[in-house]
Structure 1
Amino acid sequence: MDNRGFLPAPNELAAPAREVHRVAMRLASDPSSVTEFRLEKRALQANVMMTPRLPAWPEDDIQAVVQLDDPSGHIDPETFVPALEVRIAGAPVATRWERKGATWRTSIDGRYLDGPSLVEVFARDDRGKWLGWGFVEVVSRRR
């Protein structure tokens, strides 16, 4: 790796500290079988925005917007499908997401809760890796 010669291949490679590593692999029994590739971290990320910032339930519905971006250009955020999850007080809540290009939107209906709670939106990739997260704290009136 990075012009240091050949070593036995590890079971996994750690994420590179710098942007790109040059990796060459070959079969131990065939020195002519060299294959080179670049190893770099996935740059795909999700910006999660939630409004209003200080919602009061049940009056205020929360609008959640997830904007995907890949500064490296390796993944098209307009075709990538993230795993999106909404949680209220730590419990998953089913929501219907709508997509337009690289932007996903949902509305989280206000409801009665037993006091203040955290409403969170998580975005993960197809392997379950973290892309982004957002939250608001809601104040709820009791019935």
Structure 2
Amino acid sequence: MKKLNQETVANAVMNLVAVSVGVMVSDGLVAVIPDNEKQIGKLGIAGAGLAGVAMLPTKNTKGKILSGLALGASVKQAYNLVTDALKQGKTKDPEAGVAGKFIQGSIGLACANDGVWQGGQNSQSHLASPVMFPNNDVMVIEQEHQNINRDLSYMA
């Protein structure tokens, strides 16, 4: 086991950031793949990332960063492929026991929005930013406040 010191912590942070960026970039790549080719795209990214992890030298900082990026991309898309396959035909069971909730959470069915991006068409989230819902009528809210002020004007 390595000693915990500034160098080992810095390397661990660098690896964490590289893997995290690899996860994000791989999801960005999947987002631009046509819907009918997403599964093969995920498989290609996972395979290419795995090949990168196996082949990239990790003796220097550049190699470690590239390997972390490849690992993040590979793990994320492999995870997406597995959970996509396991979720097919399944829905969240609100009556599930502890084991059922654990399984649902493991395959991505534990979230209230069931994996739907908050800005998506099917989103029911009440926490989403108003910017994502341009049809909000802010004027109605302002008019209600004006009506309250008018109704209370006799108190002033």
Please indicate, yes or no, whether the TM-score normalized by the shorter chain is above 0.5. Answer: no
More helix by share: 2
- Largest Rg, 1 or 2: 2
Shorter-chain-normalised TM-score: which range? under 0.3
- TM-score normalised over the length of structure 2: 0.22
- Identify the structure with bigger relative contact order (alpha carbons < 8 Å, sequence gap 6+): 1
More strand by share: 1
